[in-house]
Amino acid sequence: GVFAHQRGVPWGVLTFEPHPRTIFNKTQTPFRLSSTRMKEQGIKKMGVEFLVVVNFDKEFSKVTGQQFVEEILVQSFEASYVVSGDDFAFGHKRSGDINFLHTMGKLHGFGTVGIKHVLDKDSKIISSTRIRDFIKEGNVKAAKNLLGRCHEIEGEVIKGDQRGRTIGFPTANIKLEDSIIPARGVYAVKVGISNGIGTIWHNGIANFGIRPTFNGDTLLLEVHIFDYTGNLYSKNIRVALIDYIRPERTFNEISDLILQIKKDCIKAKSVLVREIT
C-alpha cells in the first residue's frame, strides 16, 4: 500500500478461484489454509482499493504467460507496477515467471517488484507447505507463529446425532469441505459467531475425528461452546484452533468419556484464559 501511495496509483490484489491445484488434481486431499471468504476478508483488511478474483478453470489454464500479461495486466488493468513473489509462476504450463514479467514490463511500460521469501526466527523459509505440515501434526502453535494468526476452520453447522447433548456437552458440528485436515484429537478453540454486525468470539473445545467410541466413520469437527446456548444450525461459524490437547481415543464406557471431556474442558479453559483473539 505504501509503495502505491508514494507513486500516486491505486493498488489492489489479483487472485484466482478456485485454487489452480483443484483444477489439475481433483483427487488430492484438501489443502486450503483458508476459505475463499476468509481469504477475501484478509485481503480487504490490508486496505486494498480493489480486489479481482479471476475464475480459474480449464479454459483459463490455457492462457499463455504473454496473453496473461498483455490482455489482463496491461489491457484490462493498465498496471503501473506488478508485485509478486520471486517464485510466482503463471500462464499455460507455468510459462511465465518474475523474469518474464520484468521483460514484459520493459516492453509495455510497467515496473516489477519481486518479493523475496520471508524467513522465521530460525532463518527458515515461511511457506504454506510448512504451515500445512504443522497443522497436520496438530502443532497449531507453530502454525500460528508462521501464519501470524491462529489457523481457522470455517463451515456451516450441520445436524448431528445429538449424542453430545445427551451426555451434557452439546456440540455444533462442521464437515470440512476443502480445508486442510488437522490432526485428529481434541483442541482448545475460539468460536466466532456473526451477530450481523461483526463476529463475537466464544471459548470452547473441539474434537476432530470419527468419534470411535460411538463407532463413527465420518470425519467431523464437533465444537462445544462454553458460554453459548443459541441455535446454530445452518449458520456459518469460524473455529480458531488455539492449542492441541490430546489425540482422539476410544473409551469402553460412556462414563469414562464424560470424565475425560470434563478434564479436557478444564485444560482448555486454562489455555484460553491466556489467549487474546
Q: What is the pLDDT of residues 70-83, one digit of tens each?
A: 999 999 999 999 99
Residue 215 pLDDT > 70, yes or no? no
Task: Find out whether 97 and 88 touch, Cβ atoms under 8 Å.
Answer: yes
Residue 49 pLDDT > 70, yes or no? yes
The two counts, helices (H) then strands (E), for the chain are 9, 10
pLDDT on residue 4 = 87
Of the listed ranges 1-15, 100-114, 239-253, the one predicted with least confidence: 1-15
Mean pLDDT of 146-161: 90
pLDDT on residue 111 = 95
Task: Find out whether 105 and 80 touch, Cβ atoms under 8 Å.
Answer: no
Of the listed ranges 9-13, 182-186, 209-213, 258-262, the one predicted with least confidence: 209-213
pLDDT on residue 26 = 64
Mean pLDDT of 7-23: 89
| Whole-Å CA distances, 94 to 61, 88, 91, 125 | 9, 9, 5, 22
Percent of the chain with pLDDT over 70: 96
pLDDT on residue 178 = 75
Mean pLDDT of 14-38: 81
pLDDT on residue 276 = 63
Task: Find out whether 186 and 205 touch, Cβ atoms under 8 Å.
Answer: yes
Residue 130 pLDDT > 60, yes or no? yes
Q: List Cβ<8 Å contacts ≥24 apart for 200-204.
A: 201/240, 201/277, 202/226, 202/227, 202/228, 203/227, 203/268, 203/269, 203/272, 204/228, 204/239, 204/268
Residue 28 pLDDT > 70, yes or no? no
Task: Name the CA radius of gyration of the chain, rounded.
Answer: 22
pLDDT band for position 210 (cuts 50, 70, 90): confident
Task: Find out whether 188 and 245 touch, Cβ atoms under 8 Å.
Answer: yes
pLDDT band for position 146 (cuts 50, 70, 90): very high
Task: Find out whether 266 and 246 touch, Cβ atoms under 8 Å.
Answer: no
User: What's this model's pTM, rounded to 2 decimal places?
Assistant: 0.87
**Straight-line distance from the first to the last Cα atom of the chain, in angstroms, rounded to the nearest whole number:** 25
Give the residues across from 179 on adjacent strands: 32
Q: List Cβ<8 Å contacts ≥24 apart for 7-10.
A: 7/80, 7/81, 9/80, 9/81, 10/49, 10/50
Beta carbons within 8 Å of 178's beta carbon, 6+ residues apart: 22, 30, 31, 32, 35
Task: Find out whether 186 and 172 touch, Cβ atoms under 8 Å.
Answer: no
Convert the pLDDT of each residue in 167-184 to its tens digit: 889 999 998 877 899 999
Structural domains in the chain, CATH included, are 2-115 (3.40.50.620), 150-272 (2.40.30.30)
pLDDT on residue 31 = 81
pLDDT on residue 66 = 96
pLDDT band for position 2 (cuts 50, 70, 90): confident
